[in-house]
Chains A and B, each alone.
Chain A
Amino acid sequence: MENVNLKRKVTLKRKGDSVDQQPEKKPNKLIWVGILGVVAVVIFFGINQFGNKGGKDLPANVQMPAETLVQQDSEVEPIAAGENEQTATEIENNEVTVHNNVSEESSSSEDVVAQKTNTTNSSNDSKSTVHESSPKNNTSNSGTQSNSVTVAGSIDEKAIKVIRGDFGNGTDRKDALGIEYDAIQAKVNELYRNKND
């Protein structure tokens, strides 16, 4: 006898919630938004740090590259002759006072230059003085220098100190060098040119 099979009863798929009504995977989106936020903050602070390194907020003991110094010097306008009479007078007097014990810092490059300055000035019959007014320098390591060091000496010596960063940058340097600013700056530029040649 032939087998007879009943047809399978057809039933509908039961409708669930619409796909739109199902909970979305918001946590994943939130995580990504959070990650992007953190990255944005890191980039923001990174840019700020980078900007500070190239700006005026450099610590006193960090020397800027020589090329940067020259570039900044060229942007500074010359000072009027009578604008900084006090500084000019000090330079004219060429008074040199050593307040610190030089022997304590004799190993530093700063002192090597200072000693050379003394030698040179004595041979030129002019009194040179290394004046370290900052109390920090009394306790600082030999590798650190303060911008508050004021040195009177020849144009060449001052040019070297400018390159070394002793007089700071921009207006500070212009104030410190006074009426000799132009001459010293010209010497600085000359030294750089010679160095580059």
Chain B
Amino acid sequence: MASRLQVNNIIKESGSGDVAFAYGGAIFNGNLTVQNATFDNISSVLSLGQYTNATRPANPTQGTIIYNVSVGQVQIWNGDRWVLLDTKGGTLPEVGQVVHLDATKTSSYSGGASTIWTDLSGNGNNFSIDANAHQGTAGSKLAYMAFINDTNGCAKNSGDISLDNEVTYVVVTRILNSTSTWRTLTRSYSADHHVIVQSGAWNIGMYDNNGSGFIDSGANQNGLSNYISNSWATMIWRFSNTDNPTYEMFVNGEKVGEIRNSNARYNRGFGSIGAYHDGNTNPNSSSQYWGDIRLFVAYNRRITNDEIVQCQYATESQGYLQN
């Protein structure tokens, strides 16, 4: 048997400083942890552990890096899933949030048949739902609210959220694939569907209950990049009282429609999300169901183009767009 040195601590003879292994390396059957490490030439000498899609660890420490031979990529565990090492991250803009509802976080929807969808913006704008609407496991990134019928209902507040003029919605969603009725994203208790898809058609716009009726943005539901695959998309609507433009719609960062018409302005807040409220506060008594919503954030300002990109990075990197 090879000779063995059995000690608990090894220190430099002087009492502190680096211990040199000048004539060879070492083999560890356990972990090695150091405070700081400098790699002289990481590109030529770093060999990552090789895994396949099937064999890679299921829930490692956040920040763990591997080489995935199935796809030929260096991947890092972001706390939720394996992503490319250079995947750009991000967070949603925080300034101006009025409502922030997240079906994937237990801080927003706790599960256990809860009927409260809790606002994370800090404004206390919680919404009532029917527990049937929640799909998946509470806290899972795959969870969402399915506002598709009276059984599931929609999300309602006791009154309109105070919001007007310059407004932005950031929504991770997929719109109900049917033309049999209107599809309403939000509706005020007094008037106006701020975002709606036309009944019997695919046209996306807003509905002005004060006289103009449906105003088309030029975007079509069946022409959206996520339509055929029915995949999740980050959809953003921006409203402005300058009418330059009044209403803009973006899907995964790409502008797909706009309205330049003062009648399409955002004049009042909303009391229901995911359907028309039918004039009451019961989530199950609604109509014009919108479809599936994983994340809904409303701002009391028009976010910038940079922030649209930021939202896209955030929702992609944090796993909101997983099918």
Partners in one complex: no
Binding site for B on A (CB under 8 A): none
Binding site for A on B (CB under 8 A): none
